[in-house]
């Protein structure tokens, strides 16, 4: 089975901190994604990457950046955390054909 592992299940950070959310997949997938999930809003795409060092903005990239230095790892960076970034963050990976992306268990981030 494909595994997508997110480094933390729960995270509490202070306003203004720089926050790193890590995601690792073990199936050599080209595509990796970061979504955020909020009640009543569903999943919204923040960034995705289709190859090492390649990235594309999603629907809500403001306040975030990403890094993909190795194929298996895709990091989401909150440059200066704010309370409105309190959310569940979900990482996913999948092959180019796009069928059946696999999701990690999520990181619930609270910014205080």
Partner 1 sequence: GNSVTQMEGPVTLSEEAFLTINCTYTATGYPSLFWYVQYPGEGLQLLLKATKADDKGSNKGFEATYRKETTSFHLEKGSVQVSDSAVYFCALKDQAGTALIFGKGTTLSVSS
Q: Are strands 87-94 and 23-25 parallel, antiparallel or unpaired?
A: unpaired
Residue 11 binds partner 1 (CB under 8 A): no
User: Binding to partner 1 by residue 106, rule CB under 8 A?
Assistant: yes
- 95 near partner 1 (CB under 8 A): no
Binding pattern for the stretch 59-88 against partner 1, x by CB under 8 A and - elsewhere: ------------------------------
Location of structure tokens 């299940």: 9
Assess 29 for contact with partner 1 (CB under 8 A).
no
Instruction: Give the helix ranges, DSSP H, for the chain.
Output: none
Exposure on the CB side of residue 98, measured as CA atoms within 13 A: 2
Determine, following the binding rule CB under 8 A, whether residue 54 of this chain makes contact with partner 1: no
């Amino acid at each position: 089975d494909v595994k997508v592992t997110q480094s933390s299940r729960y995270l509490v950070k202070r306003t203004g901190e720089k926050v790193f959310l890590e995601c690792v997949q073990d199936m050599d997938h080209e595509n990796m994604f970061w979504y955020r999930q909020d009640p009543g809003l569903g999943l919204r795409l923040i960034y995705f990457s289709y190859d090492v060092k390649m990235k594309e903005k999603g629907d809500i990239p403001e306040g975030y950046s990403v890094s993909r230095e190795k194929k298996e790892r895709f990091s989401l960076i909150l440059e200066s955390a704010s309370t409105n970034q309190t959310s569940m963050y979900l990482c996913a990976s999948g092959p180019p054909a796009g069928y059946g992306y696999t999701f990690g268990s999520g990181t619930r981030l609270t910014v205080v």
